[in-house]
Structure 1
Amino acid sequence: MNTRSENVRNWLRIRIEMLFEEYKYFDYRFPEPQYLGAKHTHLSWINKFIPDEISVVLDAFSGSQSVSFLFKQLGFKTIINDFLNFNNQIGKALIENKSYTLDSNDLAILFQPATNKDDFDLIEKTFTDIFFEREEAIFLDNFRANISLLENEYKKAVAFTVINRSITRKITMGHFGHMQALVYANDPERIRRNRSLIRPIKELLPSYNNAVFDNTNDNRSFNQNILDLLPQLSNIDLAYFDPPYCDSHANYQGFYHLLETYTEYWKDKEFVNGIKRYEPQRYSGFDKKRDVFSSFEKLFELSSEIPYWLISYNNKSYPGIEDFEELILKHRDVTIETKTYQNDRGGKGSVAGSQEILFVCKPRKKYFIPIKSRNN
């Protein structure tokens, strides 16, 4: 090979490496969630509107972590937050975690008979014959007791993530706002259509282990109300806001109360209604009509130093699109992008024909008037 050909080949190789540098983490696949409002089906659409030349991103209402995982894949330093701890554990497992996975020794620990079982009977006492047969509830308590024996917080987070995903997979419709779980679980026709109802937990583990990677940044996962966390943060380039769609989707604490109860293992809560939802619930500020305007005003004020915002929303949410746009325009220039649901995906805000909205918010343009014009 002559020198000129070798130089051309090297130049092409370097150009190709540069072209695909931003996608070098895309071999790691996000385990698909089963979560109302999860954005995993919208990621390529959202990606179109991420501004260039940013390096630090905040996902303020991170939920299933699908958008956070995209940010991590893109190589950004990714700071995430969710006020529900079961979501925070997903963040610790897949975003903050750089290398820890569960191996066969960890599984032996998790599946062994718990030595402190007397302190772990919450699921058996509270949810037997509601969501689980007694044997299943005892297994979940045993598994929960053994999570504390794992060697570090990241292995614990992976364990929480896998078991919580397994719990949702075994409940038809994937949430806990109904009392038909055992009826569905014992229906052969439903099992035939949805084999995941009877698949073992260990089948899920490889997809989560394989999703752990290091994007060379010190990513962080927080478990706070975002209005409390924002004053503690600085030097954020882009904030992604995916708040609860007030009046559009279900109450997440109501639908996913069991996952939070299992993760927190509440000792100081009352369990109410037929589904045994915990009370009192955590304060959000974004899921009740009486609070939502003032909460968004405060959110935008606290985000004044963050140049770019992307805000996921829905055309059936409260406040309406025009009123919400007016709120944003007090702080940023904004364009509105829309994506129409072609099929029902659960929840009032994602039925066929409804629209997913993305508010693309940029710093206000500064207009400069020449000195001569000002004098005139």
Structure 2
Amino acid sequence: MECSLFKNDYLNYKFPEPQYLGAKYIHRAWIAQFIPTDSCVALDAFGGSQSIAYLLKQMGKTTYTNDFLNFNYQIGKALIENSGNVLNQEDLDILFSPNQNPTEYNLIEKLYANLFFYPEEAAWLDSFRSNVPRLQNTFKQSLALSVMCRSMTRKVTMGHFAHTQALTYAEDPARVKRNRSLIRPLRDIFLDILPHYNAAVFDNQKANKSFQENILDLLPTLSDVDLVYFDPPYCNSHADYQSFYHLLETFVEYWKDKQFVNGIKRYEPKRYSGFDKNSEAINSLKLLFERAQHIPTWLVSYNDRSYPDINTMVNMIEPYRKVKVEHKRYTNGRGGKGSVAGSNEILLICKT
């Protein structure tokens, strides 16, 4: 397959900095040095924040990105698959208009008023969500959802929703002094963040695609990929993303068929992953590597405090690929038990 070289000016685009536990945003330069320049079609199999998929797009590769959570899929559609659609003033007038159907769009106020948001802010989120389908195409819709999800993580202390102290923290002057977003309207935060997302939209002249699939089902359907980046959940060392970011998934999906449980009102049942429980992780990883046999080069991000351990990971990969292990030591904690100071970020370079 002929693969054109990337343009240097693609690197001038900037990925909007995420606030996401385990995001590889800070490791982009380190990971980039191990990405083969002659690979043409690349898959980010566990896209998450999409920062590595965005790097692959910047490198001029046909980029496929996948995540089984919808709010992450929306980021992929907005910044990886999207090549030119941005939100303009006309779109903002639509998004900020009154609730189109208050009897259908009241989920956030019913669930999260006086938990993560004051009632008027929760009602405003319902109104915003009711207007997203009115935007003229799905790329604009994905961009609107992505920017609002990022706005919500900025507004809530610690940037996640696995605690019940959001409004308590918002009334703490010391915390507000450190982070004024705690008391700013979501609309203002959205308008501050939006230019960074609009400016990140670019066309690398490739047919990029965002998927929302279980990766074990998706892998066999992609026959043209020559590089895959795996960043699976790290059992024992990182957050349960569906618990930490449940509100974002609920906002995007606008669930009608879920129960909402415990103090944080997380949706139940959760989406099935197969990678986030010790009892299932090894079998799922074995299947992952088996179903990636047709892809020549694998890069696997991991952590030395995770289950299974690095030696077990290497042993599972070696029947299919030669493995080189690279280490990057954390000098400061980044959130999550696996990125505390003294632990190591691992990259397994797997080639035929």
Shorter-chain TM range is over 0.9
Contact 2:239/2:336 (<8 A) preserved:
yes
Query: 5 Å matches for 1:169-248?
Result: 169-199=154-184, 200=188, 201-248=190-237
Deviation at 1:351, TM superposition (A): 0.7
Structure 2 alignment gaps of length 5 or more: none
Give the equivalent residue in structure 1 for 2:37.
Answer: 52
Work out the CA distance in 2 between the residues paired with 1:44 and 1:198: 35
1:215 is paired with a residue whose SS is: coil
Query: 5 Å matches for 1:58-77?
Result: 58-77=43-62
Work out the CA distance in 1 between the residues paired with 2:69 and 2:53: 16
Give the equivalent residue in structure 2 for 1:123.
Answer: 108
Cα separation, partners in 2 of 1:21 and 1:325, compared to 1, 3 Å = closer
1:304 is paired with a residue whose SS is: coil
Give the equivalent residue in structure 2 for 1:7.
Answer: none
Give the equivalent residue in structure 2 for 1:3.
Answer: none
Q: Which has the larger radius of gyration?
A: 1
2:323 aligned with 1:334, yes or no? yes
Query: 5 Å matches for 1:11-160?
Result: 22-160=7-145
Deviation at 1:22, TM superposition (A): 4.2
Q: Deviations over 1:83-105 (max 9, x none)?
A: 00000000000000010000000
CA RMSD, aligned part only?
1.0
1:136 is paired with a residue whose SS is: helix
Q: Deviations over 1:245-265 (max 9, x none)?
A: 111101010100000000000
Q: Deviations over 1:124-158 (max 9, x none)?
A: 00111111110110000000000011010000000
Deviation at 1:115, TM superposition (A): 2.3
Deviation at 1:181, TM superposition (A): 0.6
Work out the CA distance in 1 between the residues paired with 2:42 and 2:183: 38
* More displaced 10-residue stretch of structure 1: 190-199 or 297-306: 190-199
Deviation at 1:194, TM superposition (A): 1.3
TM-score by length of 1: 0.90
Amino acid at match of 2:123: I
Contact 2:24/2:51 (<8 A) preserved:
yes
Deviation at 1:24, TM superposition (A): 2.0
Work out the CA distance in 2 between the residues paired with 1:282 and 1:21: 37
Identity rate, percent: 59
Amino acid at match of 1:177: A
Give the equivalent residue in structure 1 for 2:277.
Answer: 288
Q: Deviations over 1:227-278 (max 9, x none)?
A: 1111211111100000111111010101000000000000000000000010
Work out the CA distance in 2 between the residues paired with 1:108 and 1:31: 23
TM-score by length of 2: 0.96
Give the equivalent residue in structure 2 for 1:13.
Answer: none
Contact 2:6/2:60 (<8 A) preserved:
no
2:338 aligned with 1:353, yes or no? no
Work out the CA distance in 2 between the residues paired with 1:73 and 1:148: 29
Work out the CA distance in 1 between the residues paired with 2:199 and 2:180: 23
Work out the CA distance in 2 between the residues paired with 1:127 and 1:21: 45
Deviation at 1:114, TM superposition (A): 1.8
Amino acid at match of 1:283: Y
Work out the CA distance in 2 between the residues paired with 1:269 and 1:29: 37
Contact 2:20/2:159 (<8 A) preserved:
yes
Work out the CA distance in 1 between the residues paired with 2:30 and 2:195: 28
Amino acid at match of 2:338: G
Count the aligned residue pairs.
344
Deviation at 1:195, TM superposition (A): 2.5
Deviation at 1:197, TM superposition (A): 2.5
Contact 2:162/2:245 (<8 A) preserved:
yes
Give the equivalent residue in structure 2 for 1:322.
Answer: 311
Work out the CA distance in 1 between the residues paired with 2:159 and 2:6: 37
Work out the CA distance in 1 between the residues paired with 2:330 and 2:7: 29
